[in-house]
Structure 1
Amino acid sequence: MGSGESTTRKVSFGVDDEDRVRILRGVKLSEDVLQRMRGVANIAPDRTNIHYMYGSRYEQQQKLLKEEWAKMAQREMEAAKEEMAKATSRERQQTRLEAERTKQLVQHLQKKDSQLKALDAFYKEQLAQLEKRKQRYKNDSFFTPSLLFLVFCRPRNTEAVCAGLQAQILSCYRDNKDQTLKCSDLAKEYMQCINAAKKVRAFSIYGYTLVINS
């Protein structure tokens, strides 16, 4: 080394299991150089491991997120199907209720129409009966004053004509003061009996003229 010329020597070295440098051939390196070499040798594997670790964790997280999104989508789809089924069921039930209400309304209107028709027929029948009673009353009003005159105001020197019918008529009028129509048949028979006597007499009472054959 004291000659002033530098010579290049090739050296090789290695490390044992305890990271101790073993000189194979050449000169021994300083401790400082060995420390730097150990640091460089240790850095590269650590960075590789870190990248691998983070890459694996990222992939795992991505996988978990995808699975969670798939589960959420499935739950949302099932909830939507269930809600649609409920809505369809409600709509069908509402349709059935509307149809039932419409049917009941139609039945009610038909029943009401039948009742109105029956009531109309009843009123028409009552009017017809009233008309008949009115006509019978008119007919009876002709016979009543005339017959009463014949019964109570006959000549004293004349023998009573149709005495039996007279008694029946008087009894009928006494028993049916408010329902004189019941005596109308007797009145007709009495008039026929008077006409059969073939004696003519004229009486005027209450504006009526009664001609009796005697």
Structure 2
Amino acid sequence: MGSGESTTRKVSFGVDDEDRVRILRGIKLSEDVLQRMRGVANIPPESSSSRQQTILKDELAKMAEREREAAREELVKTMSRERQQARKEAEKAKELAQQLQKKDSQLKALDAFYKEQLAQLEQRVRHSHMFHRPAETCLNVKNQSRNTAPVCPGLQAQILSCYKDNKDQTLNCSDLVKEYMQCINAAKKLFCLLINSEYDLNCISIAVSM
């Protein structure tokens, strides 16, 4: 260059482990020159933190999907169990309703029976004055009369009161009815024996007929 004679210098260069230029001898080369010399563009590598974040996001997305799928399966199982339980309860309720209907029919039949018994009892109560005169079958004495006290008046009053208070549940009075019939039976037998000095079959038949 100029008037002097040009001289030529030999240079050499190398790169370190991080691909950086390391001058061994001579001048320092620019980065652009080095890129042209390498024949490749200088592309910065993806940072490790960015890769970790991407992997973490992908894993979280997969976990969330698995959890959603498990929740859907559990929901389907729960709904299936609830439907089965509902069907069982409906069948049980239907069976119970049938049993109650059958029991109600039985109770109505018993109620009709005891109402009939009550009607007969009331008729007997109205005709209880027959105990105020001797029975010809027991006395064998005609045209004789005797005053007697009412038969089983306490039970009569209890029965009438019970049926009045339990019009829809006459079964509650069944024990009183049985007790009253036993009382009437005993009174008939006693009355017959008191009037008739002989313990004949007529008195026994009166007791058994009740």
With structure 1 as the length reference, what TM-score do the two structures score? 0.47
Q: Compare relative contact order (CA 8 Å, sep 6+) and give the higher one, 1 or 2.
A: 2
Q: Which has the higher strand share?
A: 1
